[in-house]
Copies of this chain bind each other. A is one copy, B any other.
Amino acid sequence: MANVAQSHLAVDQASARKADVESTCSETNCAVCAAWNLSLCTILKNCASEGDRAVVGALPMSTVHMVPARRTIFHPKEWSEFVPVICSGWSVSSIALPDGRRQILSFLLPGDVVSTAFLFGPLSGRHVEAVTEVTYRKFKRSDLRALLFENPEVFDRISKTWLDERVQTDQLALDLGRRTASERIARQILNLAERLAKRGMMRGQTMDFPLRQRHIADATGLTPVHVSKVLGEFQRARLVEISGRSLTIINEAELRIAADWR
């Protein structure tokens, strides 16, 4: 039935065997990044080449890392001197209760800063986990902090990233506290579609969709069973179609209504 290309699985799986591969910064890596012109990297790059900063033609003091699907990228109490930015792949950031209940706070796509908390302290308090194979770039926090003080453009960019993350979390609280299951699920789909579109990662109305229903459940505060039922309804109503590991939005207008969008 899965007649749609599963491009996120097309990455050579063999390379996944070697965990946490590290390579020095190379410009070619950024070509992979779907969100080059959106991300923090762009502006950092500009600073690097125009200023007195180290490497020209490369991002300042950063390294690229690779993590295979399903593996943890950061533990909630892990200290890090680095600010990680996703280059490719999908991952998920969440917090959990001792008894295993967990809440996904955001899905991370290429160009996203893993957690803006890392910009200001070594601790994010969030668990970050790869969904697909993921590559990310690590900037040293002290470097960023220095840049932030000298360069108002960097300051603004970082402020904006921070504010965006806050708006997202506020909306999440509103969704979880005050919206129905169908609304929450429909909004997650639309939200992802919008973000992927910005990154040129939509093929028309269809997107790669590597998420398990458990991910959606944990993001919406629901049960996997219930997610299955709602998604079933959405498909029977011809709002969306899910097959293989991709999702296409068939009736965007109706889906927006279901989501109570804007």
Contact = CB atoms under 8 A, between A and B. Distances in A.
Interface in A99-122: 101-103, 105, 116-117, 120-121
Nearest to A125: B167
B103 A177 contact: yes
Interface residues of A, number: 33
A21 interface: no
Contacts of A95: 170-171, 173-174
Q: How many identical chains are in the complex?
A: 2
A131 B229 CA distance: 41
Contacts of A117: 163, 166
Interface string A80-107: 0000000000000001110001110100
A178 B221 contact: yes
A27 interface: no
Given A163-B117, A260-B97, A105 B170 contact: yes
Interface in A130-183: 149, 159, 162-163, 165-167, 169-174, 176-179
A126 interface: yes
Contacts of A176: 173, 176-177, 221
B97 A177 contact: no
Given A103-B178, A159-B120, A178-B101, A170 B170 contact: no
Contacts of A103: 173-174, 177-178
Contacts of A166: 116-117, 165-166, 169
B120 A170 contact: no
Interface of A is mostly: helix
B121 A178 contact: no
Contacts of A171: 95
A248 interface: no
A39 interface: no
Nearest to A172: B173
Nearest to A99: B260
Contact of A102 (B121, B163, B178): B178
A246 interface: no
A54 to B, nearest CB: 23
Nearest to A97: B178
Given A120-B162, A159-B120, A162-B120, A97 B174 contact: yes
4 interchain residue pairs of minimum CB distance? A177-B221, A176-B176, A120-B159, A101-B178
